Structure 1
Amino acid sequence: MTYPERTTSRRTVLTALAAAATVGGPILSQLAAAAPAVAATAEDPIEYASNTALYKDTNLVEGTSYSRRYRRHQQFDLKMTEKYDFPRTAILALHGGGIEIGTSELCLGIAGYSPSDAAGAAILPTVHDYFMFEGLLSSGNRALHVTSKNCDDHVALSTAASHLNVLSLHGCQFDQLKLPTSSFPATGDRGVAVVGGLHAEFRTALVTEIRNAGFQAVDAYDSRYSATLGDFNGSHVTNPCNRTMLAKGAQLELTTELRESLFGDSSSRSARAATWNQSEGRFESFRDACRKAIATVEAGQPIL
């Protein structure tokens, strides 16, 4: 299927969703009628070529179909005799909301903010800049996915480019990873964090802290796992996690089981926002593990 054909098919599906929501019609039956003649495959997904292409789609409305949320902190150095700190790490969730569930809430949490406060209240003493693109459709948010290496949102890219480090959060399915069954049996714990990106020290710190917090984590470049993790290793130079001042960063691919376990109820955006602190401490433990890894990396990056 060519890109124009994929775009047409996606637009048909999105139009059906919008129409069903408007008239109260049965969404599933309209989607069935709107199904493309050629089915998309894992190798040929129905996907926008870039954020710009998505933003230009007139069938989508920002604030209804999708949203962008970000925070860039004002910093001042007004005294000639003093040196001031500057934010060194930013958190990204490029497929948040209903696209890869749980990544928006984790983005806010790791950045130091409450996932349940619409006003974005800081709840931790140290905060980080962040950017999130979030799917807001009632269903079918996968149609809003833009592959990370194709992200061209200028706020996302400028956020990455102005920081030494980026931690980018993503979601995946356990079966996609094809991890060795000797260590990760299909009937065992399917909650796994795959740590990627080109910043080796950052990856090491993340794997260490996430494991110390009681979660499973693997380095995507570890020879024991790397053969099947090429699509999850965050190696592309245009991936925003690597478009930092150092031209390297880190990303987490979190399985569905891991992300769902971080909430008392993971079934919807509102449920996740309301129950992130009702998972017997799992959300806080994972959040704090990531923040410890960030602190470890930043400790070796003195102000120049």
Structure 2
Amino acid sequence: MTEASRTRKSRSAAARIRVGIGGWTFEPWRGPFYPAGLTQKRELEYASRKLTSIEINGTFYGTQRATSFEKWHDETPEDFVFSLKAPRFATHRRVLGEAGDSIERFFASGVLALKNKLGPINWQFATTKQFDAEDFDAFLSLLPKKVDGRAIRHAVEVRHESFRHPEFVSLLREHEVAVVVAGDSEHPQIADVTAPFVYARIMGTVESEDLGYSDQALDAWASRAKAWAAGEAPDDLETIAHSAKKVTARDVYLYVISGYKVRNPAAGMALIERIGHAPG
């Protein structure tokens, strides 16, 4: 049994820590991550048994076929989860409140074919997009809490300093939408918990470390993930607004993204090993 499988088996449905990477098709992973002789069509099958989640990036650039989502569902373990980057047509626009049609088309495109393996949707905004409370509230109001009876989780990835504002955090809490925690990144970090789950993207892997991160850095991110899952807040990440609300347990989605990408799968597997038995 792999370390990822043992980790999955040890957790209850109450609180899950899922660790993954962005996508699964990357030629430099063939050798360092994918074993020699593994065919490309089996790479998702392999990756999904070493990690517990994958963030799909292709949905950001264009519509995927429903048959693709069905195939991805069938190739992965029962308790595996995909997060999806939402289409840029919805987020990269001047007036966010006019994104309704793009949002509806996205959910009608076949994403629900992932069934129980559909995790959070990451709505990523351009680095130039600034915070406008009224327009952002209108956008958040467009995000469906359910589609065809299935609950949908939403996270927003904002990358402009203007979002480091208590009003932004308040809006997210009102709509129960998570803010993507940018770790080891040039993007502004907002580590406030605003939803019943946490979504983090860490971007600091380097070539000089065999596991992408130093042991100390891996231990730190594993500790943060376990704190979030336990309903606590890491004391070494900066927040914008205080919250008195206590949560007993929450799901955590942590993705090793960007940085020295060749090392990202190794970093993800090392984090899974360190996290071990998640709370719940």
Of structures 1 and 2, the one scoring higher in RCO (CA 8 A, sep 6+) is 2
TM-score (norm 2): 0.28
Q: Which of 1 and 2 has greater Rg? A: 1
TM-score (norm 1): 0.27
